[in-house]
Amino acid sequence: MDRNGVTEGELEGRGMNKCVEQVSHLALDIGGSLVKMVYFCGENSGSEHQQGILSSKESCGLSNGNTNCSVLRGKLHFRKFETSKINECLEFMSSKQFHRNGEDCHGASVSEKNIIKATGGGAFKFADLFKEKLGMTLDKVDEMNSLVAGANFLLKAASLEAYTYMDGQKEYVQIDQNDLYPYLLVNIGSGVSMIKVDGDGKFERVSGTSVGGGTFWGLGKLLTKCKSFDELLGLSYSGNNRVIDMLVGDIYGGMDYSKIGLSSTAIASSFGKAVSEDKDLEEYKPEDVARSLLRMISNNIGQIAYLNALRFGLKRIFFGGFFIRGHAYTMDTISVGVNFWSNGEAKAMFLRHEGFLGALGAFMSHRKDGFADLKAHHLVEQVPTKPSRNAGGCLNNSSVLKDVNENISIECTMQLSN
């Protein structure tokens, strides 16, 4: 729910044009599975619009002595599309008139409007398509650079951004900006990138794994009847991984094997129980399959992340990317994994805008040629409702998961260099 009491979706439906002229500084992160979009929208609407634009331009008193600028208040908006349905993204942009917003609006000139900052592999793959359909040029921004810039921005500028999650408890972490670096950034998209971050623009991609969100969704699609990532994730809520995973207790007959630090309920072999049982796929509940899959992948990512953090002596690991979706069980598994393998020495932390690091980073690259700085004030968040299920056991589209990232926006002030 934004300050006008409407969700992004409602805003679009009820009064699309209200925002049209105010939208500027759009950026895309076109990944293997999802297109993530971030755009800035001035805070006025309806009849107050023009006045709003003017009143939101103030003389600049925000930053480091640069008075040759003005300031805009507004919101950063977040949106996602499936990469396989990239036309929906193009249609959305067309409907918002991103591509022909010719006025000198919010510091973006006509020529700048026709250039969109874009990162992710799709910035290369779909460059011609954007040119052909919208007449827009994708200005490619390095993917790792974008992820790091996005994470650094959020960790420094947004309050209540990072949090820990364990045993159902979410705890916000106050980040000391002078003690932020170094940290490990683990971005879980279709695949997983692990980046050691030492400062603004100072980073190294130290590791990664192909077992990521695309594996969960891809394997999950093949194993269950669910048709989307969010349905599959929702399904895992009610699943029981012990039905399919082989536990230490299954091998040892219920005894603990504490000498090697494993309990009888630890997973010895993911999906290992399917080996000895003479059951076809159809005889397993899809929710149990989804749960085992989620646990296998989350735990694996947590372990590889921890091993990389250990390698470079990093105590803090921030997890981002669209795989997480603020999903309790995913975060819990990752946290437990990091905690278990590090004997409590390393901490898994999560980011509220987890899915939009790359897009935000690409957005930040406007700084060089459009605006001088961006200050985040506070977040406006849609309180999630309890998910409902359809007859097939899958979550309805109206579920919390689908919109957990989209219904967050950031109120911010954009400082423009004139």
Residue with the two structure tokens 């990239």: 86
Separation between Cα atoms, residue 165 and residue 403, nearest integer Å:
20
147 binds a copy of itself (CB under 8 A): no
243 binds a copy of itself (CB under 8 A): no
**Which CB sits closer to a copy of itself, 219 or 380?**
219
257 binds a copy of itself (CB under 8 A): yes
**Which CB sits closer to a copy of itself, 269 or 382?**
269
**Which CB sits closer to a copy of itself, 108 or 289?**
289
What secondary structure, in 3-state letters, does 336-389 show?
HHHHHHCCCCCEEEEECCHHHHHHHHHHHHHHHCCEEEEEEEEEEECCCCCCCE
Q: Which helix (H) or strand (E) holds 410?
A: strand 408-417
Indicate the pairing of strand 23-30 with strand 137-140.
Answer: unpaired
146 binds a copy of itself (CB under 8 A): no
Minimum distance from residue 2 beta carbon to a copy of itself (Å): 31
**What part of residues 161-190 is at the interface with a copy of itself (CB under 8 A)?**
189-190
255 binds a copy of itself (CB under 8 A): yes
Distances (CA, A) of 116 to 19, 139, 296, 368: 18, 6, 38, 14
Distances (CA, A) of 304 to 59, 143, 202, 297, 335: 49, 21, 22, 11, 13
Q: In this chain, which of 4, 164, 303, 382 binds a copy of itself, going by CB under 8 A?
A: 303
**Which CB sits closer to a copy of itself, 144 or 410?**
144
**What part of residues 307-326 is at the interface with a copy of itself (CB under 8 A)?**
307-308, 310-311
**Which CB sits closer to a copy of itself, 115 or 262?**
262
**Residue 270, Cβ neighbours under 10 Å: how many?**
18
**What part of residues 26-85 is at the interface with a copy of itself (CB under 8 A)?**
31-33, 82-84
289 binds a copy of itself (CB under 8 A): yes
89 binds a copy of itself (CB under 8 A): no
**What part of residues 191-210 is at the interface with a copy of itself (CB under 8 A)?**
191, 193, 205, 207, 209-210
Question: In sequence order, which residues have a C-beta less than 8 Å from that of residue 75 and are 6 or more positions away?
Answer: 2, 40, 41, 43, 380, 409, 410, 411, 412
Minimum distance from residue 363 beta carbon to a copy of itself (Å): 20
Collapsing DSSP to helix, strand or coil, 92 comes out as helix
Minimum distance from residue 173 beta carbon to a copy of itself (Å): 26
**What part of residues 355-414 is at the interface with a copy of itself (CB under 8 A)?**
none
Q: Are 299 and 333 in contact (CB under 8 A)?
A: yes
